[in-house]
Amino acid sequence: MTERATAKRERLVASAAELLHRNGVGATSLADIAQLADVPLGNVYYYYRTKDDLVRAVLAAQTEQVAAMVDGFAGLPGPAERLKALASRWDLMRDVVARYGCPFGTLTTELNRRDDGLDRDAAMPMRGILDWAVSQFQELGCAEPRDLAVALLSAIQGSALLAATLRDPELLSAQVHRLHDWIDTLIPV
């Protein structure tokens, strides 16, 4: 029954991802995750030796999500459209973001303070987005692509934080639109 076992793994990671987003790492118990995944508590440890291992699995899943997301933008005509599509992704999740924050941003924020290996793993999703954005600004012909990529991702993450703090999805939408306009500004004539 290796297949069933894989299914349980996936259910555990999916449940963990949801609860880590909603409640954070510290406030989420393995019992909570096990219950949501419909797996007995003691059995969790067969698949993931420690809680940190499970958190690492969530980070790996997020990193894959990021890779899949930017791959999905490949079909768009140009880098400006692709960068705008990136920003719009957060607008699509505006209601969740305005309640619980950006799934990447909040998890990274909580893990950044650590000093064990987990803080390194936590940076991977953000790095994935950032590196891809740098390549897009390069393709656009911009002078300092890295600074621009950091500016874009900063604006997205900061907007997500403020939207969650003020519980205001419209705030996020408005800032994403500002970013669209800004990106259009950068297109060389």
In the complex, the residues that contact a copy of itself under the rule CB under 8 A are 22-27, 100-101, 105-106, 108-110, 112-113, 122-123, 126-127, 130, 147, 150-151, 153-159, 161-162, 164-166, 171, 174-175, 178
- Only segment of 3-11, 66-74, 81-89, 136-144 that touches DNA (CB under 7 A): 3-11
Site for DNA (CB under 7 A): which residue of 24, 35, 45, 119? 45
Q: Which of 186, 82, 85 has the alpha carbon at shortest distance from 143?
A: 186
74 lies in the binding site for DNA (CB under 7 A): no
Give the sign of the dihedral formed by CA 140, CA 143, CA 147, CA 151. negative
Cβ nearer to a copy of itself, comparing 78 with 117:
117
Residues 6+ apart with CB under 8 A from 173: 91, 94
* Residue for token pair 């505006």: 94
50 lies in the binding site for DNA (CB under 7 A): yes
Cβ nearer to a copy of itself, comparing 9 with 22:
22
Size of the site for DNA (CB under 7 A): 21
Residue 52 near which of a copy of itself, DNA, none (CB within 5-8 Å, type-dependent):
DNA
Give all strands (DSSP E) within the chain, no chain letters.
none
Q: Exposed, middle or buried: residue 21 (CB in 10 Å: 0-12, 13-18, 19+)?
A: buried
Cβ nearer to DNA, comparing 56 with 177:
56
Quick count: other Cβ atoms within 10 Å of Cβ 166? 12
* Residue for token pair 């969530």: 58
- Both structure tokens of 151: 């500016």
Q: How near is the Cβ of 1 to a copy of itself at its closest, in Å?
A: 37
From residue 161, alpha-carbon distances to 47, 50, 128, 166 in Å are 33, 30, 20, 9
- Phi first, then psi, for residue 85 (nearest 5°) are -65, -35
Cβ nearer to DNA, comparing 55 with 148:
55
40 lies in the binding site for DNA (CB under 7 A): yes
Cβ nearer to DNA, comparing 31 with 76:
31
